[in-house]
Amino acid sequence: MSTAEHPVCPHCDQELQAFELPDTAGFEADFHFACFNDECPYYVRGWEHLESNYAVKASYRYRVDPITGKASPLAVWSADAVKDCIIGASVDESDPSDNGGCS
């Protein structure tokens, strides 16, 4: 077990996945960790919260900056958003060629 390298989501206990940042502005790290569990309560609540408060179809996932160790919300506009930026994804084993194609 190496929880230091792969921290666990406090909301759903799933291992966080490293992903490449689409926009590194303001961040020192090239990648962050995020919870890509579609059933994560944090993420599920985000849809309801943003829709009822801001009338937007979006949500956010639990995200951790590996350098500062700080958690912050990662805004997503669909269930698949940012998933193609996951590094060394074990998430979607059916597509090993699509690995780091984040741009």
Site for Zn ion in 18-57 (CB under 5 A): 35, 37, 40
User: Which residue, 3 or 103, is less far from Zn ion as judged by CB?
Assistant: 3
How far apart are the C-alpha atoms of 38 and 78, rounded to whole Å?
10
Neighbours of 18 (CB within 10 A): 19
- What are the distances in angstroms from CA 82 to CA 1, 19, 55, 61, 77? 26, 8, 22, 10, 9
Between 35 and 85, CB nearer to Zn ion: 35
DSSP 40: -
- Binding of Zn ion by 11 (CB under 5 A): yes
Nearer to Zn ion, 80 or 96 (CB): 80
Binding status of residue 87 toward Zn ion by CB under 5 A: no
Distance CA 17, CA 43 (A): 15
Note whether 12 binds Zn ion by CB under 5 A: yes
How many residues of this chain bind Zn ion (CB under 5 A)? 6
Residues that bind Zn ion (CB under 5 A): 9, 11-12, 35, 37, 40
